[in-house]
Amino acid sequence: MSRGGLDPKTAPTFPMAAKAMLGDAQLRKNVRHATDVIQGKRARVVGEMPDWQELREAGKQIRRHTMEYLDFYLEEFEANCTRAGGVVHWARDAEEARRIVVELVKASGSDEVIKIKSMTTEEIQLNPALEAAGIHPYETDLAELIIQLGEDRPSHIVVPALHKNRQEIREIFQREMNLPELGDRPQDLADAARMFLREKFLRVKTAVSGANFLIAETGGVCVVESEGNGRMCLTLPETLITIAGIDKVLPRFQDLEVMLQLLPRSATGERMNPYNSIWTGVDAASADDGLRDGPGVFHVVLMDNARTEILADEEGRQTLNCIRCGACQNACPVYRQTGGHAYGSVYAGPIGAILTPQLQEMHHAQSLPYASSLCGACYEVCPVKINIPEVLIHLRNKVVKQNTAGVAGLFDVEAGAMKAMAMIFRSERRFRATQRLGRMAERPLVRKDERGQGWIGWLPGLLGGWTQARDLEEMPKETFRDWWERRGRDGN
């Protein structure tokens, strides 16, 4: 797989990609195992919280309120971050964000950067842009390192290498770190990553990070992580460049009391992840006395990249409430079968199925809103109560409207069939006639099994989608209505 992959503009449709993934038994086994473990851990620590539902409700209200007053909070963040010595940049789209980051890295005088795991930088394909500019990015999160060294693509928001098992990871490390003797115990692999990256942490002078939260009230930024690679990147370099979607703002410092309870328990099933870092601009102490805490130069890039399109859609807006915990992915029966790559986007699973097409302004990834059985498991585990099934249906509606608009719609077979169905369902007479017609039409297709039950194994045209993977039972000889009427006449 090429490292530039997972572009929704060029990805195959979900059903096509999913079919290929379903054939990979190892991948399915890995995904199943990892999502089972993480769901069990989440359930246990969520169960410890007597006020989980109240926290979810507060989380939802905080996020909804933030979106309603987003311009106010963005300006407040900008003013407070600037006052604390940070430099705030604005980017309309991915292209502009990439250009700003590349220029800032160059201005820092470094031709390499250490990176904290950031889905936003994955979204805008930052690494290929850095490489094209002669800058080498080092991913420092263990999972991202596995992805980068294996020239693979992330398949999960929180655990991007969840589709790889320990033996596969060992092979990548043996090859790329030149460690032929490396064992496959998770501890061996983590130690190898520590050795490999420590030298880079101590040497590289510029870092790139994402952000979990931007705090408007203080101008502070919060990053939540486990390994300490985040702290290394936030603390040791001279220049820090943080890139964040405009949706990452929180109104006040106090709001963290809700988010820092919801996020770790939902994401990794921990009461609190090992490290949360909060910093505000740059430390005022001078670098000369050596006591300055952290980088002397700090930039934040606030990126739109179609988030305002989502904001403008009243029903789709709740998508922006997402705090990227990945709980919906672990709970989703579709994701658990296909893994993340089938979604053709760095945002996979239920949240990806609604976020990706909207970030593409509905021009691409149109099959994703259909990549769901609408079972609602995602909504149930969402820490900020995003009603994903509701948004999925809303987006399906948009896709249909878009594809049947104008003259093309007149020739759309599926739209024509749906119109005909609507006509049939509106009249009892037409409905009964259609049932009679169906019983006649199916006759040549029905095959009896040993118990005399009729099955249809093949249907023509569009209907064939149903029989591709299963048989259809023949229509009953008598409908309920026929039976009811006969019963009335016979008086029994």
Partner 1 sequence: METDMVTNSRAEVLRRVRAATGGTSDGAAAWIGWNGIAREYRRKGTRERKKVLALLEDRLRDYDGRVVRVTSEGVGQSVAEILAERGVRRMVVPVGLPVGWLPVSWMPPSAGGVEFVVDEGLSSHELDGVDGVMTGATLAIAETGTFVLQSVAGQGRRATTLVPDYHLCVVKAEDVVETVPEAMERLQEMAGLATTFVSGPSATADIEMTRIKGVHGPRFLDVILIV
From 119-127, 270-278, 353-361, 371-379, span contacting partner 1 (CB under 8 A): 270-278
Q: Would you state the structure tokens that stand for residue 246, as one six-digit string?
A: 């405009």
183 binds partner 1 (CB under 8 A): no
- The yes or no reply on residue 278 touching partner 1 (CB under 8 A) is yes
Q: Which of 5, 128, 183, 274 binds partner 1 (CB under 8 A)?
A: 274
Binders of partner 1 among residues 16 to 35 (CB under 8 A) are 30, 33-34
8 Å CB contact between 96 and 304: no
Residue 54 found at the interface with partner 1 (CB under 8 A): yes
The residue within the footprint of partner 1, chosen from 11, 58, 207, 388 (CB under 8 A), is 58
Give ∠ CA 469-475-481 in degrees, rounded to 5: 140
Q: Which of residues 65-124 bind partner 1 (CB under 8 A)?
A: 65, 67-75, 84, 89-92, 96
- Contact segment (CB under 8 A) with partner 1 among 291-299, 342-350, 354-362, 375-383 equals 291-299
442 with 436: CB under 8 angstroms? no
Q: Is 280 helix (H, G, I), strand (E, B) or coil?
A: strand
214 is a site residue for partner 1 (CB under 8 A)? no
DSSP 206-244: EEEE--SEEETTTTEEEEEESSSHHHHHHHSSSEEEEEE
Q: Does 327 bind partner 1 (CB under 8 A)?
A: no
Least Å distance, CB 203 to partner 1, is 9
Q: Which is nearer to partner 1, 80 or 366 (CB)?
A: 80
Contact status: 275 vs partner 1 (CB under 8 A): yes
Q: Rounded distance, CA 39 to CA 86, Å?
A: 39
Q: Please, which residue, 6 or 216, has the CB nearer to partner 1?
A: 216
CA-to-CA distance for 467 and 465, rounded, in angstroms? 6
How many whole angstroms separate alpha carbon 250 and alpha carbon 211?
12
The 122-161 site mask, x for binding partner 1 (CB under 8 A), equals ------------------xxxx--x------------x-x
312 binds partner 1, rule: CB under 8 A:
yes
SS (H, E, C) 379-433: HHHCCCCCCHHHHHHHHHHHHHHHHCCHHHHHCCHHHHHHHHHHHHHCCHHHHHH
The single residue among 252, 396, 432, 439 that binds partner 1, judged by CB under 8 A, is 252
Closer to partner 1 by Cβ: residue 11 or 146: 146
In one letter, which amino acid is 422? A
- Site residues for partner 1, window 402-461 (CB under 8 A)? none
Does 46 bind partner 1 (CB under 8 A)? Our answer is no
Among 86, 220, 344, 383, binds partner 1 (CB under 8 A): 220
**Which range touches partner 1 (CB under 8 A), out of 121-129, 277-285, 378-386, 471-479?**
277-285
Minimum Å distance from CB 372 to partner 1?
Answer: 24
Under DSSP, is residue 162 helix (H, G, I), strand (E, B) or coil?
Answer: coil
Q: Largest Cα–Cα distance in the chain?
A: 102
Residue nearer to partner 1 on the CB measure, 193 or 328? 193
Does residue number 360 form part of the binding site for partner 1 (CB under 8 A)? no
- Near partner 1 by CB under 8 A: residue from 3, 136, 166, 432: 166
6/146 with CB nearer partner 1 = 146
| Member of 232, 346, 355, 392 binding partner 1 (CB under 8 A) | 232
Report phi then psi at 157, rounded to 5: -65, -40
Torsion of CA 98, 102, 107, 109, to 10 degrees: 150
Of residues 25, 180, 181, 289, which one binds partner 1 by CB under 8 A? 289
Kindly report the number of other CB atoms within 10 A of residue 289's CB atom. 7
The DSSP secondary structure of 61-110, one letter per residue, reads HHHHHHHHTHHHHHHHHHHHHHHTT-EEEEESSHHHHHHHHHHHHHHTT-
Is 316 or 389 the residue whose CB approaches partner 1 more closely? 316
Distance CA 189, CA 174 (A): 10
User: Per rule CB under 8 A, is residue 308 in the interface with partner 1?
Assistant: yes
What DSSP designation does 447 have? E
Instruction: State in angstroms the smallest separation of the CB of 349 from partner 1.
Output: 16
Q: At what angle do helices 428-442 and 413-425 cross, to 10 degrees?
A: 120
Cβ-count burial of 136 within 10 angstroms (0-12 exposed, 13-18 middle, 19+ buried)?
middle
Is 261 a residue that touches partner 1 (CB under 8 A)?
Answer: yes
Residue 257 in the binding site for partner 1 (CB under 8 A): yes
User: Is 7 a residue that touches partner 1 (CB under 8 A)?
Assistant: no
Report the DSSP beta bridge partners of residue 299.
87, 241
Min. distance of Cβ 49 from partner 1 in angstroms? Answer: 9
Instruction: Determine the Cα–Cα distance for residues 102 and 110; give it in Å rounded to an integer.
Output: 11
Cα dihedral across residues 253, 254, 255, 256: positive or negative? positive
195 binds partner 1 (CB under 8 A): no
| Cβ 477 to partner 1 shortest distance, Å | 52
Residue type, 356: T
Question: Closer CB to partner 1, residue 61 or residue 174?
Answer: 61
Q: How far is the CB of 412 from partner 1 (least distance, A)?
A: 30
The residue among 17 and 169 lying less far from partner 1, judged by its C-beta, is: 169
User: Which of residues 284 and 413 has its CB atom nearest to partner 1 in the complex?
Assistant: 284
Q: Which residues pair with 303 in a beta bridge?
A: 91, 245
